Structure 1
């Protein structure tokens, strides 16, 4: 799953971008890259492999900028390679990162090649940046160009775009792929997951489907899919950046298994559940999960049938949260037992 990070500030944002990418490593990726804009123009650095390799490369090349976008790529169109890594550029003045898949990219690519554009990658993303270059040549600004280009795209996308001629602006848009704006002090950010930005902010605006945003150091402008001005609520996040790190665990699957009891408890306490929060906590205490809790160091193999992730059963759900649990579902679940046992054994083997 690809990851996006972007930042605009009055200081060098390289570290913000690299740190954000590290927070997104849990999503899986095969390559990473950054595009940094300063008074000299756009510097792009890409590497196949780990973010650590990209970090070393940005240090070696002394890459810096007050506006930037970064990306971790999971290959879809085109093999894992530096040439296919994001950000993608059209010319030397325009750079873009993209999450999602453009379904009509081949048709658009044929039109662009006929117009004289040469492609440097095998990706569907490069189509978007060349379309933007084509529209910008008509004299419109970056925000308007993005509005026009996305109307031509079929598929899912979250985009972050920067341009040399508008160095103090970052344009973002989402359709079918999540994107969040982080609010700082005299600097702002974008990311595909708010966990990427927790080292720099805990205030976020979640873009809704079809939203497009123009972001500067001191202003956020958002329009909806119809181009109308939109006001989106600001949310404060109570998590920490450790939520996106492996920590003491060997891999993210293991971390997810061991954190599921806390995740269930946190979900139970969310305001989206009906009724009084304190009353729900009391009901959960009166009807504790019936599974056996096993204290085990993360590195030790275990029989996953007794892991905490199995720690909430039908009585807990039905009595504590007053959610009906259909017997038909339970009968269906029982037919999955052989398949579940196979999966458990595979998980066990991975831990070993």
Structure 2
């Protein structure tokens, strides 16, 4: 019998003070770190295992709004998930999520989808209103299929995806989750455009040529298929997040949720097991406490705070005893939170 198993390990990041630039170059009173207005933004994270089960997870760098007006933006070096062998080992080596920018020889997108940098920002406006946005083009590839060109392994493309939240006040929480075009691998092998689901409606696809996220003994590409469901993130609990990513008395969320159930079969078509994979693309949230009132001032809207950037980042999971203090340029300050970082392994017994 073949079995899919996971194991998880808890990692801890080091605590560092937050530094901010206040109005007119002077520091202003910071919002409360534990209960004050806050926003978070994450470009893509993955969890293996059924709903409610503790499976392996890969949670990429999460941006958190600073305690003083400013913003935190994801660096452009994050162009794929996983980005290295360490992340790849976390949930198997078959899936690749491309995040917008690509080289001409490694283009995973259909014709007409231009290379671009993502825009992932968590901000605290000058009015202390928290906002967040995540926007780019996403492509989900299954490299297990073994096609020579990256685009021929692509199963799903979210072109012009944008998720955004704005918490102006307890009675004014705004969310946006939109797409320009949605591409899906068709039965004839081509990538075709399908209608974007509206509102709370989802898109459900069956019998896709999509395998499991990692190796399973005796699994066969010709007989293994997956069912896929694409919906908008509707609740805070649907986000794949670190413990440090908190909500509040009033919370708005947005993002795209991809739920995959892979029916793994052998060469004779006999069922081996079902593997469930959950992916959240562009997960964002903002929260304000009871009684919150925005300060007077010009609200620029969106995520462009009027102050200088104050990078504040919950780092991605990694194997080690403690997080590094900063990146090489000293621009990213990790928060003191526990990270869920599950190593996935596939075993035969």
Structure having the larger proportion of residues in strand? 2
Q: So what's the TM-score if we normalise by structure 1?
A: 0.28
TM-score if structure 2 supplies the norm length? 0.28
Higher helix proportion: 1
Greater RCO (Cα-Cα under 8 Å, separation 6 or more): 2
Q: Which has the larger radius of gyration?
A: 1
